[in-house]
Structures are given as C-alpha cells and as structure tokens.
Structure 1
Amino acid sequence: MALARNEQETIVIFDVEVGNWHIDTTYPPHIRKYAEQMGEIEEQTEDRLSGWVSDDYSSSFMVKKRRKLSEEEKKKLADRLKEARLS
C-alpha cells in the first residue's frame, strides 16, 4: 500500500566510520533512482528502499540555490532548444 504523499521522505546519512552513504527512502522516484546504485540493501519493497550506496558509484549530495530566469532568458533558451531540435 502506497504511503500518503505527506508521509514520503528520503533520509541520506554519511557514516564517517564506514566511509559511505546510507539511504532510506519511501519516496517512489528516489526508490527507482537509487535501487540500481545500492550495494548492500537492507530492505527493498514497493514502498521502501534502505541500504548503502555501492562502492562502484561515487556519490555526493548537495543543495544549491535554484536559478531564477527572467522571461527573456527563458525565451532565449527555448529558441536555442527549438533550433537544436530542427538541426
């Protein structure tokens, strides 16, 4: 049974002793995203994924400020994309 949207979450912890990232998520897009990158999986169901990121993957997690585009910048990017699709 799927969790209510307001109960879905992703917890990412870096364990210094292990030197690796631990991910515990109940957010469906993150379950799909991280399933193939997990090494040691502690729990995997339709509604939850919990485990350690595999040593085969380099991983870092960051937060950055979203870029705010003006209407003119949006139009320029849209025009550039349109040109690229035509060529």
Structure 2
Amino acid sequence: MKTVSLQEAIRDLDTLAHAVEQGEVVTVTRDGKPVLDLVPHAATVEAEEKPKKGGLDLAAGEAYLRSKGISRVFGYVAEDFDDPLPEDFLLRPLP
C-alpha cells in the first residue's frame, strides 16, 4: 500500500491512477493523517470475480436443506407464541 500527501496526489494523479488500475491501494494524507483511499472501481473488482467476504449464503442453505428432504425449518409455531405472558407467571418466584 502506497501513501502520498494530498499535494502529491494532486500533482501525480495520472501516475497514481495507473497504479490503482494495477490493483494497488493508495492512501492520501493531509497533515500526516489519512483522508481517503484510492482503490480500483467496483466494476473492475467484480470483473475479476473476487470471492464474497463473510455473510451468510441463505440460498445455498435452503438448497442444502431441500437436498436433504427438509422443506420447512420450523415445524410448528403456536398462534399465541408472541402474546404477553400471564401476570401470575411473571410474579412467581424463580426456583
């Protein structure tokens, strides 16, 4: 990763653009503190087909369950599942 000052970035923008096109990340600083990063455009990254980072692939999970013959994850949820609990239950001391 390359680091340049804002003044250098303004002066050498064309050179930095070529470096970024080659996949390099350039950090631009002002008074020694990072202000921004020059990175390849998202369309360029997508064209290279880089793998996704993190997260859940829900479609793959559903396909796996279907392949095992599981059509529903939750078998039964009672109608009153999210109703408030009765007051006598809430006031009862813990065991």
Shorter-chain TM-score tier: under 0.3
Larger Rg: 2
Higher relative contact order (CA 8 A, sep 6+): 1
Structure with the bigger percentage of helix? 2
Structure with the bigger percentage of strand? 1
